[in-house]
């Protein structure tokens, strides 16, 4: 007898939760960050895909909380706690610098800022980052398996590896 | 928030006309550059969330070559030229007269540098043509930034072009125009021009063209 596994897809500026044996993934991360919070014992995990570091920089009245590191990470924690998750740990990937930044451009070093913002948000919530694969200049597809607590990462023209 | 993004069919037509005029001129430049006829399809005007934008160019994991420009001047926004890896190879082959050229993980230092600079130059020419035509049409001054070239998954590249508007909104209005070169042989080019004006540019555009 086999158990059917579902892969839950998380889009840009989105956050979702999964229970084992299902897995959760997000595709084509560039300067964005995928952050996984997981409760190893209970087999619950959540994944957030943020685009920008700081919601206070938003120039519009209504903000979408899942778009920003500083609002999405606490929101993700809350969602997981509501599902009974406790003692959470984190893994994260993304924050690449996709373009060589030339002079006079506002394609800012957003990857680095995103990495810092996610790390900050996790620190404030006392969540330990167990492992991460951040920076560089390649896009990433990531998938987390709550059974093994492994985050698998695929980059263009490279073999899949896990952290 | 959403009502900003209700376009009347008149406004949609104006934006389509922008695609027609801009990409038409760019297609002419490309055809002169390559010595082939280039066809242009009818532009699409899409109101899309970020995930939908990425679906327009084949989905988040689709390998693409993306050339991105900031548009500066009286209208601001982002211009993206997106082609598949094979099409980028074909363009480099034509421009460098090297029919053997391949764009893969083995493409090394100097060869990759030449390819990147050839592609950037094509991008400069095409974006220049697009914006010149648009400047003439609107009477507004528009300038492209230097090119930013990325070869990677579409999700990773395209989000770079959305960063600026993502600080204001969760939706983009995209003027998407596809160009094609159909030939009897196997050689073929397909590329997309995606013009993503900043939200505040639309009112200026509609006002200037007298249809606001």
Give the per-residue pLDDT at B1: 39
Nearest by Cα to A32 from A101, A92, A102? A92
Closest residue, chain B, to A13 (C-alpha): B50
Which positions ≥6 away from A101 have C-beta within 8 Å? A107, A108, A109
Low-confidence ranges of chain A (pLDDT < 50): 103-104
Containing domain of residue B84, as a range?
2-208
**Chain B interface includes A64 (CB < 8 A):** yes
The whole-angstrom separation of Cα A27 and Cα A143 is 9
CATH class of A7-162: alpha beta
The domain tally of chain B equals 1
The pair of structure tokens assigned to B48 is 């899309």
Tell me which chain B residues have a C-beta less than 8 angstroms from the C-beta of A61: 1
Q: What is the CATH number of the domain that holds B67?
A: 3.40.1550.10
Residue A85, Cβ density class (10 Å: 0-12 exposed, 13-18 middle, ≥19 buried): buried
The whole-angstrom separation of Cα A120 and Cα A55 is 14
**Chain A interface includes B58 (CB < 8 A):** no
- Cβ contacts below 8 Å, chain A against chain B, sum to 109
Contact A12 B50 (CB under 8 A): yes
**Chain A interface includes B164 (CB < 8 A):** yes
The pair of structure tokens assigned to B9 is 């069919």
Contact B159 A32 (CB under 8 A): yes
Supply the residues of A annotated as catalytic: 32
The pair of structure tokens assigned to A23 is 């897995």
Closest residue, chain A, to B158 (C-alpha): A30
Task: Name which of B54, B155, B166 to mutate to probe chain A: the one with the most chain A Cβ atoms within 10 A of its Cβ.
Answer: B155
Give the per-residue pLDDT at A160: 94
- The answer for B 112-151 residues in CB contact with A (under 8 A) is 145-146, 148-151
**DSSP for B78-142?**
EEEEEEEHHHHHHHHHHHHT-TT---STT--HHHHHHHHHHHHHHHHHHHHHHHHHHHHHHT--E
Tell me which chain B residues have a C-beta less than 8 angstroms from the C-beta of A32: 159
The pLDDT tens digits along chain B (212 residues) read 344 567 888 888 888 988 999 999 999 999 898 888 888 888 999 889 999 999 999 999 999 999 999 999 999 999 999 999 888 998 898 888 888 888 876 667 888 888 889 999 999 999 999 999 999 988 999 999 999 999 999 999 999 988 888 888 888 888 999 888 866 555 567 889 999 999 889 888 888 876 54
Closest Cβ–Cβ partner in A52, A105, A138 for B167: A52
Contact B155 A12 (CB under 8 A): yes
State percent of chain B over pLDDT 70. Answer: 92
The whole-angstrom separation of Cα A144 and Cα A133 is 13
Strand partners, B116: none
Q: How far is A144 from chain B (nearest CA, A)?
A: 17
């Amino acid at each position: 007898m086999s158990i059917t596994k579902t892969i839950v897809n998380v889009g840009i500026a989105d956050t979702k939760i999964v229970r084992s044996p299902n897995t959760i993934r997000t595709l084509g991360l560039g300067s964005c960050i995928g952050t996984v919070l997981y409760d190893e014992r209970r087999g619950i995990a959540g994944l957030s895909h943020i685009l920008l570091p700081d919601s206070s920089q938003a120039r519009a009245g209504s903000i979408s909380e899942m778009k920003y590191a500083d609002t999405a990470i606490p929101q993700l924690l809350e969602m997981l706690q509501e599902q009974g998750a406790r003692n959470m740990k984190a893994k994260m990937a993304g924050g690449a610098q996709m373009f060589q930044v030339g002079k006079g451009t506002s394609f800012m070093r957003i990857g680095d800022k995103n990495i810092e913002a996610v790390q900050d948000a996790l620190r404030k919530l006392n969540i330990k980052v167990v492992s991460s694969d951040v920076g560089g200049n390649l896009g990433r597809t990531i998938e987390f398996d709550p059974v093994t607590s492994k985050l698998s990462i695929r980059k263009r023209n490279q073999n899949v590896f896990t952290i | 928030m959403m009502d900003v993004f209700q376009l009347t069919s008149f406004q949609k037509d104006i934006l389509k006309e922008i695609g027609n005029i801009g990409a038409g001129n760019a297609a002419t430049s490309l055809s002169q550059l390559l010595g082939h006829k280039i066809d242009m399809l009818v532009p699409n005007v899409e109101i899309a969330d970020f995930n939908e934008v990425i679906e327009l160019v084949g989905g988040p994991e689709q390998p693409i070559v993306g050339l991105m420009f900031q548009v500066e001047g009286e209208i601001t926004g982002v211009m993206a030229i997106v082609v598949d890896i094979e099409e980028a190879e074909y363009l480099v082959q034509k421009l460098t007269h090297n029919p053997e050229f391949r764009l893969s993980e083995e493409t090394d230092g100097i060869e990759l540098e030449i390819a990147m600079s050839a592609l950037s130059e094509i991008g400069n020419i095409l974006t220049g043509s697009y914006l010149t035509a648009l400047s003439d049409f609107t009477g507004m001054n528009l300038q492209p930034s230097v090119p930013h070239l990325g070869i990677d998954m579409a999700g990773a590249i395209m989000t770079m072009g959305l960063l600026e508007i993502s600080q204001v909104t969760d939706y983009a209005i995209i003027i998407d125009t596809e160009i094609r070169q159909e030939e009897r042989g196997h050689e073929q080019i397909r590329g997309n021009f995606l013009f993503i004006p900043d939200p505040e540019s639309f009112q200026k555009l509609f006002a200037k063209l007298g249809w606001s």
